[in-house]
């Protein structure tokens, strides 16, 4: 955007920041990396009772080029980890990641040869949700935390 | 035989004792199911005979097992069913630890394809005559056989790679 | 002849990718026609990769296309393989229960009961009658829940998206029932070796009865919407046909086999629990196409409601777990207020139930996907020596590899929906 060369940090930047962050936070389209049982709770999170679209996550965009938040739901095996990393690389900035469930956060109950003990071994995770599987309310809580993160920690100065 | 077998299964045991008597090793019952242990050389003919003459037309499963003995370490168990009389028998064979090889059952039932690939992937038992013997769960680059008793539960560090976290420019 | 491999540049797991592309080339090579000219350049390899909105989990399909027609396919699974069978060799039988939940995660109750019954057969544990009826009711509810998700996703894949919302609304009601009965929404682990964890409360019974009465009307509405719907029929009729003479050979199981004409249902062949005493039918069809599978599953939901109603009439009052302290957990009152109860609870958690050494057992259950079987070899300790899961989705995926040749690419999604695989149990 070239703002940092024109204005630097100041009143104008913070106001633009507030506007763009408000827009980004309230339209965080998730990319569901639904792998296992947590994917079913993620479908319920998009379903009629725990409606995700009232939080701005209107559509589950399965294309990485059109999404902001990647929700890794389920255990990641070594074989699948390459595909997940590739999808993450294809997502355009700014992007955030939610590790949903115990298996995505730390490997969960699956302490064995096939499962990566936590997706943070190869992805930069922003929010971890515990639970096996976590209730959709917990996923909504994580989404709200990501929205807070966008509003407070992100700035247009980072978008070069 | 003091075992309490149903008519079909008794017919199977009698048929095997007359046609393949040198291959039949033992017959026993465990928890209401009959297990027949045979030699591994003629397993394809025996399975074909069971399918055609005794109507065991449904292959339910092929199970690999590791006995962890120095002699005849691996077992392959065929779980087959006769849908007409609803009887189920298990045919067991044993093979050596050094280069375990068994004839493939894909010519008898084509559903044996993936099941034998699983036994190969987990134990390293090669099936001769299988049209496509590749690993099914682990990637081909993986060099070990996970379900063998000496493979550690947590895996061997470095045996399978994680993705590159600095994205390469494409 | 290695033309595909020369064009592919794999980014990771190179040997694995080259192996699968080579086997794609080698498939059907004896009957393949030599395609001399391809003027429109219509031949291509399409990778429906592990991450795809419509593949019901992480399933990878590699299709060789000529225009819109699929010439050959190869299926790559194992993207969700954890080594559950290896974990089982290190846990006691009761500790393994939550792992069974996460295998067929659409109807977790069936997997729980399958493991429990296999171990009960191995160790000769007697289960009280009330526990058997409770297990049956919960298994049939899990069957309805699994078929609801199948219906929502298959019809959504065919294009009608609101169905997904309606079936999820009904599924939330079943989740509420399981919440009341077992404390968790879907991965319940409610069944214990020797019975179930706790009895139904009156509120749970009320909820189940209310669901059963209201759901019948919902099913009728959905029948009215889809049965004679021209778009639905044209998308599903004569698509993905599993021929009757091939079905047993290529290893179909469950509704896929029943839609091809074979009435193979474990509840009828080897009646377990109290299925011999309730009256229900096993729906079958002869055509073997996707529409037949749809009808079979819808009728199965109807029969499940019938079974639940009969179970409530027949269910006696009584204990829900066997009293034998060496085989089952004592009730919580005994654990808190008596010394023997506490010691038994400790021993059951630490060592668990120890079936006799050298025994083997196989027990199969009719899960919503097909015949789910557990084969356990015991070595006398509290851990199994070998535990093998005979997963129905694994066998149905092999069927999928065979029936996709010759179909249109746009039908792939509907066929996968019709076969209804669950990758958690296919990949173990």
For the beta carbon of residue A59, count every other beta carbon within 10 angstroms.
12
Distance (Å) of CA C415 to CA B113, C54, C227:
21, 11, 18
Nearest to C81 among A62, A77, A135 (CB): A77
- Report the candidate in C426, C388, C378 with the shortest Cα–Cα distance to residue C124: C378
- pLDDT band of residue C301 (cuts 50, 70, 90) is very high
Q: What is the distance between the alpha carbons of residues C37 and C225, in angstroms, rounded to a whole number?
A: 47
List of chain A residues whose C-beta atoms are within 8 Å of the C-beta of residue C187: 37, 132-133
- Measured in angstroms, the CA of B137 and the nearest CA of chain A are apart by 9
Asked if C183 has any chain A CB less than 8 Å from its own CB, the reply is no
3-state secondary structure of B88: strand
Write the DSSP symbol of residue A34. E
Residues 113-142 of A with CB under 8 A from B: 113-114, 116, 121-122
| Residue C187: partners with Cβ closer than 8 Å, 6 or more residues away | A37, A132, A133, C98, C101, C102, C105, C108
For chain B, helix, strand, coil in percent to 5 are: 20, 25, 50
pLDDT digit string, tens, across residues A13-66 = 888 888 888 988 888 899 888 888 888 888 888 888 888 888 888 788 788 899
pLDDT digit string, tens, across residues C158-175 = 888 888 889 999 999 999
For the beta carbon of residue A121, count every other beta carbon within 10 angstroms.
14
Nearest to C85 among B77, B90, B147 (CB): B147
Asked if C271 has any chain B CB less than 8 Å from its own CB, the reply is no
Q: What is the distance between the alpha carbons of residues B40 and B101, in angstroms, rounded to a whole number?
A: 9
- pLDDT (average), residues C340-369: 88
Asked if C184 has any chain A CB less than 8 Å from its own CB, the reply is no
- A·B CB contacts under 8 A: 36
Q: What is the distance between the alpha carbons of residues C211 and C205, in angstroms, rounded to a whole number?
A: 10
With 0-12 / 13-18 / 19 or more C-beta atoms within 10 angstroms meaning exposed / middle / buried, residue A114 is: buried
3-state secondary structure of B69: coil
CA–chain centroid gap for C119, Å, is 20
- Measured in angstroms, the CA of B160 and the nearest CA of chain A are apart by 7
pLDDT digit string, tens, across residues A91-133 = 988 889 999 999 899 988 899 888 999 898 999 999 999 988 8
| Residue C337: partners with Cβ closer than 8 Å, 6 or more residues away | none
pLDDT at C39 over 70: no
Of C264-278, C326-340, C400-414, the least confident: C326-340
Long-range CB pairs of A53-56, under 8 A, 24+ apart, other chains included: A55/A26, A55/A28, A55/A140, A55/A143, A55/A144, A55/A147, A56/A25, A56/A26, A56/A27, A56/A28, A56/A147
Q: Is the CB of C82 less than 8 angstroms away from the CB of A110?
A: yes
| Global pTM exceeds 0.95 | no
- pLDDT band of residue B41 (cuts 50, 70, 90) is confident
Q: What is the distance between the alpha carbons of residues C168 and C378, in angstroms, rounded to a whole number?
A: 41
Interface of B with C (CB under 8 A): 30-33, 35, 57-61, 63, 65-66, 77, 79, 83, 86, 88, 90, 109-111, 113-114, 118, 122, 132, 134-141, 146-147, 151, 153, 161, 163
Q: What is the distance between the alpha carbons of residues A23 and A12, in angstroms, rounded to a whole number?
A: 17
Q: How large a percentage of chain C has pLDDT more than 90?
A: 31
Q: How large a percentage of chain C has pLDDT more than 70?
A: 96
Nearest CA in chain B to A84: B163
- pLDDT (average), residues C374-384: 90
Helix H segments across C259-388? 266-269, 290-314, 332-337, 339-350
Q: Is the CB of B31 less than 8 angstroms away from the CB of C427?
A: no
Q: Best of C9, C14, C83 to disrupt the B interface by mutation (most B CBs within 10 Å)?
A: C83
Q: What angle do CA A78, C77, C30 make, to 5 degrees?
A: 135
For the beta carbon of residue C18, count every other beta carbon within 10 angstroms.
16
Helix H segments across A9-111? 11-25, 37-46, 78-90, 101-106
**Whether the Cβ atoms of residue C137 and residue C182 lie closer than 8 Å to each other:** no
- pLDDT band of residue C17 (cuts 50, 70, 90) is confident
Q: Is the CB of A79 less than 8 angstroms away from the CB of B138?
A: yes
Q: Is the dihedral of CA C210, C213, C216, C221 positive or negative?
A: negative
Asked if C371 has any chain B CB less than 8 Å from its own CB, the reply is yes
pLDDT at C32 over 70: no
Inter-axis angle of helices C392-403 and C412-419, nearest 10: 150
- pLDDT (average), residues C34-61: 77
Asked if C175 has any chain A CB less than 8 Å from its own CB, the reply is yes
Q: What is the distance between the alpha carbons of residues C413 and C250, in angstroms, rounded to a whole number?
A: 21
pLDDT digit string, tens, across residues B87-144 = 889 999 998 888 888 899 889 898 899 999 999 999 999 998 888 888 899 888 888 8
With 0-12 / 13-18 / 19 or more C-beta atoms within 10 angstroms meaning exposed / middle / buried, residue A61 is: middle
List of chain A residues whose C-beta atoms are within 8 Å of the C-beta of residue C86: 112-113
- Report the candidate in B49, B52, A82, A65 with the shortest Cα–Cα distance to residue C79: A82
Strand pairing class (B33-38; B101-103)? unpaired
Write the DSSP symbol of residue C200. P
Asked if C105 has any chain A CB less than 8 Å from its own CB, the reply is yes
- pLDDT (average), residues C90-113: 90
Write the DSSP symbol of residue C159. T
pLDDT digit string, tens, across residues B60-78 = 999 999 988 888 889 899 9
**Whether the Cβ atoms of residue C361 and residue C376 lie closer than 8 Å to each other:** yes
Residue B19 has, within 13 A of its CA and on its CB side, a CA count of 16
pLDDT at A5 over 70: no
**Whether the Cβ atoms of residue A63 and residue A30 lie closer than 8 Å to each other:** no
Q: Best of A33, A78, A83 to disrupt the B interface by mutation (most B CBs within 10 Å)?
A: A78
SS (H, E, C) C82-108: CCHHHHHCCCCCCCCHHHHHCCCCCCH
Q: What is the distance between the alpha carbons of residues C6 and A63, in angstroms, rounded to a whole number?
A: 28
Distance (Å) of CA C340 to CA C329, C331, C333:
12, 12, 12
- pLDDT band of residue C30 (cuts 50, 70, 90) is low
Asked if C375 has any chain A CB less than 8 Å from its own CB, the reply is no
- pLDDT band of residue A72 (cuts 50, 70, 90) is very high
For residue C255, give both structure tokens: 């509704």
Write the DSSP symbol of residue A77. B
- Measured in angstroms, the CA of A43 and the nearest CA of chain C are apart by 8
pLDDT at A71 over 70: yes
pLDDT digit string, tens, across residues B80-102 = 988 888 888 999 999 888 888 88
3-state secondary structure of A96: strand
Asked if C185 has any chain A CB less than 8 Å from its own CB, the reply is yes
With 0-12 / 13-18 / 19 or more C-beta atoms within 10 angstroms meaning exposed / middle / buried, residue C220 is: exposed
Arithmetic mean of pLDDT over chain B: 86
Q: All domains of chain B, ordered by start, with CATH?
A: 5-101 (3.30.460.80)
SS (H, E, C) B7-49: HHHHHHHHHHHHHCCCCEEEEEEECCEEEEEECCCCHHHHHHH
Q: Is the CB of A78 less than 8 angstroms away from the CB of B162?
A: yes
Arithmetic mean of pLDDT over chain C: 87
Distance (Å) of CA A75 to CA A101, A133, C232:
8, 11, 35
Q: Is the CB of C395 less than 8 angstroms away from the CB of B83?
A: no
- pLDDT band of residue C298 (cuts 50, 70, 90) is very high
Write the DSSP symbol of residue A49. S
């Amino acid at each position: 955007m070239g703002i940092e060369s024109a204005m630097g940090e100041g009143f104008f930047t913070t106001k633009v920041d507030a506007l763009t962050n408000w827009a980004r936070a309230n339209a965080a389209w998730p990319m569901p990396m639904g792998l296992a049982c947590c994917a079913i709770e993620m479908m319920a999170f998009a379903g009629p009772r725990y409606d995700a679209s009232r939080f701005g996550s209107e559509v589950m965009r399965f294309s990485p080029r059109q999404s902001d938040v990647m929700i890794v739901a389920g255990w990641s095996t070594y074989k699948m980890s390459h595909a997940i990393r590739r999808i993450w690389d294809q997502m355009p900035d700014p992007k955030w990641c939610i590790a949903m469930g115990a298996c995505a956060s730390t490997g969960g109950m699956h302490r064995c040869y096939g499962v990566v003990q936590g997706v943070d071994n190869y992805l930069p995770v922003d929010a971890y949700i515990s639970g096996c599987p976590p209730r959709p309310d917990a996923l909504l809580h994580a989404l709200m935390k990501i929205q807070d993160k966008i509003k407070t920690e992100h700035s247009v100065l980072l978008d070069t | 035989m003091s075992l309490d077998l149903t008519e079909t299964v008794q017919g199977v045991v009698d048929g095997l004792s007359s046609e393949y008597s040198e291959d039949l090793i033992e017959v026993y019952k465990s928890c209401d199911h009959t297990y027949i242990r045979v030699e591994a050389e003629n397993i394809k003919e025996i399975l074909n005979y069971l399918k055609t003459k005794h109507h065991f037309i449904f292959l339910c499963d092929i199970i690999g097992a590791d006995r962890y003995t120095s002699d005849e370490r691996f077992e392959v168990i065929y779980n087959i069913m006769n849908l007409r009389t609803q009887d189920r028998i298990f045919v067991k064979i044993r093979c050596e630890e050094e280069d375990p090889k068994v004839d493939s059952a894909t010519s008898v039932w084509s559903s044996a394809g993936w099941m034998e690939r699983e036994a190969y992937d987990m134990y390293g038992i090669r099936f001769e005559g299988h049209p496509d013997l590749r690993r099914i769960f682990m990637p081909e680059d993986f060099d070990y056989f996970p379900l063998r008793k000496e493979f550690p539960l947590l895996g061997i560090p470095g045996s399978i790679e994680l993705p590159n976290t600095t994205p390469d420019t494409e | 002849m290695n033309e595909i491999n020369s064009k592919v540049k794999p980014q990771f797991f190179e040997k694995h990718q080259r192996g699968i592309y080579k086997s794609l080339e080698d498939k059907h090579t004896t009957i393949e026609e030599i395609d001399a000219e391809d003027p429109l350049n219509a031949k291509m390899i399409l990778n429906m990769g592990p991450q795809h909105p419509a593949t019901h989990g992480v399933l990878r399909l590699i299709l060789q296309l000529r225009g819109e027609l699929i010439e050959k396919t190869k299926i790559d699974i194992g993207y969700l393989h954890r080594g559950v069978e290896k974990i089982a060799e290190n846990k006691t039988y009761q500790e393994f229960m939550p792992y069974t939940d996460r295998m067929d995660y659409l109807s977790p109750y069936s997997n729980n009961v399958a493991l429990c019954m296999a171990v009960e057969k191995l160790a000769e544990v007697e289960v009280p009658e009330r526990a058997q009826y409770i297990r049956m009711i919960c298994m049939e509810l899990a069957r309805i829940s699994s078929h609801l998700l199948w219906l929502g996703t298959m019809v959504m894949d065919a294009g009608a998206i609101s169905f997904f919302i309606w079936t999820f609304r009904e599924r939330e009601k079943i989740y509420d029932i399981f919440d009341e009965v077992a404390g968790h929404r879907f991965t319940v682990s409610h069944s214990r070796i020797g019975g179930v964890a706790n009895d139904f409360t009156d509120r749970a019974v009320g909820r189940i009865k209310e669901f059963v009465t209201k759901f019948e009307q919902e099913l009728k509405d959905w029948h009215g919407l889809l049965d004679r719907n021209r778009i639905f029929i044209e998308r599903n009729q004569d698509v993905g046909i599993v021929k009757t003479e091939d079905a047993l050979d290529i290893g179909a199981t469950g509704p896929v086999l029943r839609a091809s004409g074979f009435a193979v249902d474990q509840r009828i062949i080897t009646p377990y629990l109290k299925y011999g005493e309730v009256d229900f039918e096993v729906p079958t069809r002869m055509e073997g196409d996707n529409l037949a599978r749809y009808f079979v599953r819808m009728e199965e939901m109807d029969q499940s409601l019938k079974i639940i109603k009969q179970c409530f009439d027949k269910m006696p009052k009584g204990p829900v777990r066997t009293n034998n302290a060496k085989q089952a957990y004592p009730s919580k009152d005994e654990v808190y207020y008596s010394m023997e109860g506490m010691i038994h609870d400790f021993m059951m958690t630490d060592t668990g139930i120890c079936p006799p050494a050298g025994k083997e057992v196989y027990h199969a259950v009719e899960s919503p996907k097909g015949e789910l079987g557990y084969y356990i070899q015991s070595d006398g300790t509290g851990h199994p020596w070998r535990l093998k899961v005979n997963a129905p989705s694994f066998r149905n995926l092999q069927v999928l590899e065979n029936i996709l040749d010759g179909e249109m690419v746009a039908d792939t999604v509907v066929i996968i929906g019709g076969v209804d695989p669950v990758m958690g149990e296919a990949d173990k």
